Structure 1
Amino acid sequence: MKLLSFLPPGSPDGPARYGAVTDRGIVDLTARIGADFPSLRALIAADALEAARRAIAAATGADHDPAEVTFLPPVPEPQKIWCIGVNYRDRNAEYRDNSDLPKYPSLFVRAPTSFVGHGQPVVRPRQSEQLDYEGELVLVIGKAARHVTAERALDHVFGMTLANEGTVRDWLRHGKFNVTQGKNFDRSGSIGPWIVTADELSLDRPLDIRTRVNGELRQQDDTGRLMFPFADLLAYLTSFATLMPGDLILTGTPTGAGARFDPPRWLVPGDRVEVECTAIGTLRNDVVDED
């Protein structure tokens, strides 16, 4: 099942709705089960996929054309957005510092306001010209988790989506010990277009990931080459924090970001970034300058 949050045509100011993408179009689940589950995050927290399936099966047609709605990040107001740094094997070598493979994952957090949905403009901020792309696979948590083992960790995954974890490179070193500033500019990244539920994915098998800029392939890898696989990430995160339904985990980007070219290839207004996974779909966004 593909689940999304969106604004219907003619409603640019909301309220937001959620639904399912089917072969016929978008089935509006807010209209059918919204009284019980007012948002996609509420549906996830209630473990109510069966209610969504019944509503989709009962629908006589689609309510919206995907080409006419405004896509939002699929999970409204997630409690936590964890981001994993340097997780594909070639990324460690890409830093050229002769360091050993890390013992533990590198972590930072992002605010929901730093992301837009599929098809919405990603913003290059007025403070910098060094906006970069990072295509990533994203885990969506379905059940609260603390102190889970790697063997049971994937039981807590609701599904997966995609992200362009946009980064303002020269702001990553404004503070001595953190990268938070460069990772949290408003609307500098994107998430979407939808969540593919875990029952339609093989989370224990490699998933591909590709990033294109203006049609040019820049990043390509698969999760069989992660230094910290999905289950290990969940086990590590839940060793110190409780993961809640709707929390997002961005699992790392492959080699090939713009900063690694000589000279660097920063995003400029008019560029189109596409992040793809065969099992999920394509997240597409154009770049604009901040007003």
Structure 2
Amino acid sequence: MKLVRFGDAGAEKPGLIDADGEIRDLSGVIADIAGEHLHPDALTALSRTDPQSLPLVSGKPRIGPCVAGTGKFICIGLNYADHAAESGMEVPSEPVIFMKASSAIAGPDDDVLIPRGSEKTDWEVELGVVIGKPAKYVAEADAMDHVAGYCVTHDVSERAFQAERQGQWTKGKSCDTFGPVGPWLVTRDEIADPQNLGMWLKVNGETMQDGSTRTMVYGVAHLVAYLSQFMSLLPGDIISTGTPPGVGMGMKPPRYLRDGDVVELGIEGLGSQRQTFHADG
């Protein structure tokens, strides 16, 4: 299934994408795409719903983040060897973990705000993994049983905040709107191999990133198992698994986003996003 949340920010309804690419309203079946409804058993039950029995959503509503109730937005740094190289850093011997504030979450086509004082706002297309069943101390062989599905995430980053000021990376990653998620939550059964998905990103129509999840250093199953050794993963948590090369920071000279720039990005089978960047105040 391709699950979607549509409507005004803060008042989204759950839906699914039917065979014709239309949105069907799921609000009479489930309250939201969140919590217990993300459990694999619940998703299996939901998959038995006939899309034709659901109300057709007319028009072109705003698409919201594809999952609600996200407690943790966990990111993995330097998880593509070629991206680590362009960043001038070594491939890590263990996954690099940092957090993105859940308040950064935005819809896939919402405007992104360039924060006050920013001079180095950058782009990163990433595969997002949504947790469906609680995970604690899970083995890698069992890790995928805890995954509800996948989505596109955009790990927008302010490099000066991230790397040139004191402290950890979080403040360069957590500005409002810096975490577009969606358009869809694609359930795990629809993606045969999350380690073989093409991914791309364009700025003002120019291709900047053109990669594949094949070149991940640490794959999805490893990351779920690894993270579960340090914290409980809960339904609705999102793991953003790293980006391929082609970010602005790695260019010579570096290139960063400015007011009015348009970024488009997508991942094979998971849909695409489009954001216009605007100066925040």
* TM interval, short-chain normalised: over 0.9
Of 140, 143, 150 in structure 2, the residue corresponding to residue 160 of structure 1 is: 150
Q: What's the secondary structure of 2:46's corresponding residue?
A: helix
Of 229, 235, 248 in structure 2, the residue corresponding to residue 245 of structure 1 is: 235
Distance in structure 2 (CA, Å) of the matches to 1:228 and 1:108: 15
Q: Over the residues paired in the alignment, what is the CA RMSD in angstroms?
A: 1.9
Distance in structure 2 (CA, Å) of the matches to 1:14 and 1:191: 14
Q: Which residue of 2 aligns with 1:226?
A: 216
Q: What's the secondary structure of 2:151's corresponding residue?
A: strand
Q: What's the secondary structure of 1:155's corresponding residue?
A: helix
> Structure 1: which 5+ runs fail to align?
none
Q: Which residue of 2 aligns with 1:82?
A: 74
Q: What's the secondary structure of 2:84's corresponding residue?
A: helix
- 1:197 and 2:187 aligned: yes
Q: Which residue of 1 aligns with 2:2?
A: 2
8 Å Cα contact 1:118/1:193 also seen in 2: yes
Distance in structure 1 (CA, Å) of the matches to 2:57 and 2:88: 52
8 Å Cα contact 1:86/1:92 also seen in 2: yes
- 1:145 and 2:135 aligned: yes
Distance in structure 2 (CA, Å) of the matches to 1:142 and 1:13: 23
Measure how far apart 1:122 and its partner are: 0.7
Q: Which residue of 1 aligns with 2:58?
A: 64
Distance 1:13 1:239, change over 3 A: closer
Distance 1:56 1:123, change over 3 A: farther
Distance in structure 2 (CA, Å) of the matches to 1:81 and 1:202: 24
Q: Which residue of 2 aligns with 1:20?
A: 16
Q: Which residue of 2 aligns with 1:93?
A: 85
Query: What are the Cα deviations for residues 148-205 of structure 1, in whole angstroms up to 9, with x where unaligned?
Result: 1111111211110001110011101365341111111111231111111111001354
Distance 1:133 1:204, change over 3 A: closer
Measure how far apart 1:63 and its partner are: 2.3
Distance in structure 1 (CA, Å) of the matches to 2:268 and 2:76: 22
Q: What's the secondary structure of 1:71's corresponding residue?
A: coil
Q: Which residue of 2 aligns with 1:52?
A: 46
8 Å Cα contact 1:162/1:191 also seen in 2: yes
Q: What's the secondary structure of 2:103's corresponding residue?
A: helix
8 Å Cα contact 1:79/1:247 also seen in 2: yes
Q: What's the secondary structure of 1:70's corresponding residue?
A: coil
Measure how far apart 1:227 and its partner are: 0.8
Distance in structure 1 (CA, Å) of the matches to 2:39 and 2:143: 17
Distance 1:61 1:40, change over 3 A: closer
Distance in structure 2 (CA, Å) of the matches to 1:204 and 1:24: 22
Q: Which residue of 2 aligns with 1:171?
A: 161
> Structure 2: which 5+ runs fail to align?
none
Q: Which residue of 2 aligns with 1:115?
A: 105
Number of aligned pairs?
Answer: 279
Distance in structure 2 (CA, Å) of the matches to 1:267 and 1:95: 18
Distance in structure 2 (CA, Å) of the matches to 1:64 and 1:137: 29
Of 26, 33, 41 in structure 2, the residue corresponding to residue 40 of structure 1 is: 33
Query: What are the Cα deviations for residues 11-40 of structure 1, in whole angstroms up to 9, with x where unaligned?
Result: x4653211101115111111x213xxx211
Distance 1:14 1:64, change over 3 A: farther
TM-score, normalised via structure 1 length: 0.89
Q: What's the secondary structure of 1:221's corresponding residue?
A: strand
Distance 1:287 1:281, change over 3 A: same
Distance in structure 1 (CA, Å) of the matches to 2:195 and 2:251: 31
Q: What's the secondary structure of 1:92's corresponding residue?
A: helix
Distance 1:271 1:134, change over 3 A: same
